[in-house]
Chain A
Amino acid sequence: MVPVTPTFPVLKLPLLARENVIRRMTCLDRMSFSLCSKRSKRFLKSLRISIQEVQIQISNAITLSIPKMDEEEYKFTFDNPAECLESSFTVTGSMLHVWEDEDGDWHEGENEKSTFNIPNFSVREWVAHILDIIDSPSLSLEFHEDCDLFSVRDINQLIGNLERAELTIYEQSTPNEYLLEVLETFRPTKYLCLSENPFPNALTFRKYLRHSIDAVILRKNLKININEIYSMNCISASIHNPQISTSTLNTMLKVWTEGWTPRMKLISLHYSLRRLGENYMEEILDGLEYLKIEEERTLKEPLSDASRTFEKSYDIVRKDGQRATVYPRIYSDGDGMGMEVYITDE
């Protein structure tokens, strides 16, 4: 048996090798390394290990989710964060490896968890430390049930000056005033997903939708009528509960052919086939000049590199020659249907 020297002077390695060692560490060990000293933190930061996105989830706890780290996902949680936002006493943070299996169930790696207890590190210091050592262009904020345990002001201070480009508000019983404050404080530019409608009236809701946001998802709890859709200033919209009949949708398409919303590239309206009746496509396309495309084709999705395949679709053309593809996508449950309108340059 070869005697093993218990120490290894990693900082005396040549620069490339030193970087290589840190890059080969697991996410948990890199976190430990970053906490060794200011110098080790600076070194890790200089590697600019890039992460697509960091998610901060606010519920009765604060969790930092770091997807695609080492091609896996890690979650960082704090003990007693509510108390720690108020003061600066030491808070214990735990980092855990989580993954999703083929059936969509999430698992936690019990042996892949590290707990850190650093003197004088409050939640604020932790969040600042983590956001400091990873190179992420985008921050996504998620608000879940019990998020009002934390004041919006405290959360805002926690995040600092980072661009808050993505915002999701999940289904919850939080007071509307709180959610409105969230929407105003963390006004997103890239992505908004709403499962609640905290707006006091339709006018304020429409006013909010007029802001330029790349992608908007409005879930089932939000009943969306045609006026709200006409207010939207986004590239991609997904409406889960449209209060729009097939004849109104027909009008919307006619308005589009006249030049409405040149920015929008995709709108998806979710319907129940039972409610639509049999001749829904005839009603939707009534009075429009269209071309029925029988063969399968693939179109690129806006705001991503993904493509979608269409089996039977209908092409309509705007006054300026811009083409739109109307595609009734039947979901696997047999009843759900997404009426998708793709505006493509292809």
Chain B
Amino acid sequence: MSVENAPVVDVDEAAIPVEKKMYYRFESNDKKEFRVSELAIQQSETLNRLVEAMGYTSEDVENKPAIAIENIDGKTLKLVFQWCEHHKGEAIPVDDGSVPKIVEIPEFDAKLMDIDNGLLFKLIWAADYLNIVQLLNVSCKKVANMAQGKTPAQLRRVYLLPSDEEDEAAKRAAQEAQDPRAREVEEEFEERKRQGGNSFF
């Protein structure tokens, strides 16, 4: 797909100082291309480091191929970049991890995440992979809200949590699946020993 035909994410150009107006091109794993402002990219620690390491000039951006993001599809990446453009310039929250911080979902984010759970799942994976802290916080908050007022039994159904019995059964099945190979290795080892080899390797 050419750059001209790429689905460009809406950008509030007035909010970006003229001298810093720099865009990068990214390509999803299904060959959809996006132009994203430098300020928006700063929300993603992963992408920010990547473009810094590449040291692209404006000409490079136009002349070189778009930066490929191989494990995120276009539909998900569009949401990610829309979120980054909307929140560009905002401080990235720091969480020391000990005491849970209260996270509110802003109206824009709520609308952006008014999607089916399959796409929300992909969005969280993308936010985690691209290390976009606040997008991860709000999307996880949306998933956390699904637990509101649920009993443990209801929660097991919503989050597809296996019961103790199911966990036990899965563990036994995994052990049984592993055993034939373990037996083979053991037999091979014994056979080599009989043949007089000192080492298995």
Q: How far is the CA of A25 from the CA of B32 in the complex (A)?
A: 35
Nearest-neighbour CB distance to chain B for A209, whole angstroms, equals 36
**Chain B residues whose C-beta falls within 8 Å of the C-beta of A26 in the assembled complex:** 148
A25 to B101, CA, bound (A): 10
Of the residues A3, A6, A13, contact of B125 by C-beta under 8 Å: A13
- The residues of B that contact A149 with a CB separation of less than 8 Å are none
**What is the interface residue range for chain A against chain B?**
35 or more
Complex contact A24–B160 (CB within 8 A)? no
Q: Say yes or no for A8: interface residue by CB 8 A criterion.
A: yes
Q: Which of A2, A21, A35 contacts B114 (CB 8 A)?
A: A2
Contact of A20 among B129, B137, B151 (CB under 8 A): B137
The yes or no answer to B121 lying at the interface (CB within 8 A) is yes
Q: For the complex, is B99 an interface residue (Cβ under 8 Å from A)? A: yes
- Whether the Cβ atoms of A49 and B99 lie closer than 8 Å is yes
A51 to B: closest C-beta gap in Å: 8
Q: How far is the CA of A23 from the CA of B161 in the complex (A)?
A: 17
CB of A280 within 8 A of chain B?
A: no
Residue numbers in B under 8 Å from A70 (CB-CB): 100, 102
A296 to B87 CA separation, bound complex (whole angstroms):
47
Task: Give Cα A11–Cα B116 distance, bound, in whole angstroms.
Answer: 18
Within residues 41 to 72 of chain A, which ones have a CB less than 8 A from any CB in chain B? 48-50, 68, 70-71
Q: B32: shortest Cβ distance to chain A, in Å?
A: 21
* B150 is an interface residue with CB less than 8 A from chain A: yes
Q: Which residues of B contact A153 (CB under 8 A)?
A: none
Which of these binds chain A: B57-65, B138-146, B193-201?
Answer: B138-146
Question: Once the chains bind, are A9 and B159 in contact (CB under 8 Å)?
Answer: yes
B47 at the interface (CB under 8 A from A): no
Taking CB atoms, residues of chain A closer than 8 Å to B136 are 16-17, 20
Q: How many A-B residue pairs have CB under 8 A?
A: 128
Given contacts A5-B117, A8-B158, A50-B99, whether A35 and B125 have CB atoms under 8 Å apart is: no
Q: Are A37 and B161 in contact (CB under 8 A)?
A: yes
- In the complex, residue of chain B having the shortest beta-carbon distance to the beta carbon of A72: B102
Interface residue A116 (Cβ < 8 Å from any Cβ of B): yes
In the complex, A273 has a CB within 8 A of chain B:
no
Q: Are A10 and B160 in contact (CB under 8 A)?
A: yes
Of A10, A14, A28, A48, which contacts B143 at CB under 8 A? A10
When the two chains form the complex, which single residue of A2, A9, A25, A49 contacts B160, counting CB atoms closer than 8 Å? Answer: A9
Q: Does A92 contact B (CB under 8 A)?
A: no
Give CA–CA (A40, B155) in the complex, Å.
11
Q: Chain A nearest CB: distance from B123 CB in Å?
A: 10
Task: Check A24/B100 contact, CB under 8 A, given A36-B152, A37-B167, A118-B152.
Answer: yes
User: Which residues does chain B contribute within 8 Å of A48, judged by CB atoms?
Assistant: 98
A307 at the A/B interface (Cβ < 8 Å)? no
B-chain residues with CB within 8 Å of residue A118 when the two chains form the complex: 152
Q: What are the nearest 10 A-B pairs in CB distance?
A: A24-B144, A20-B140, A5-B117, A29-B147, A35-B152, A23-B100, A10-B159, A24-B141, A25-B144, A21-B140
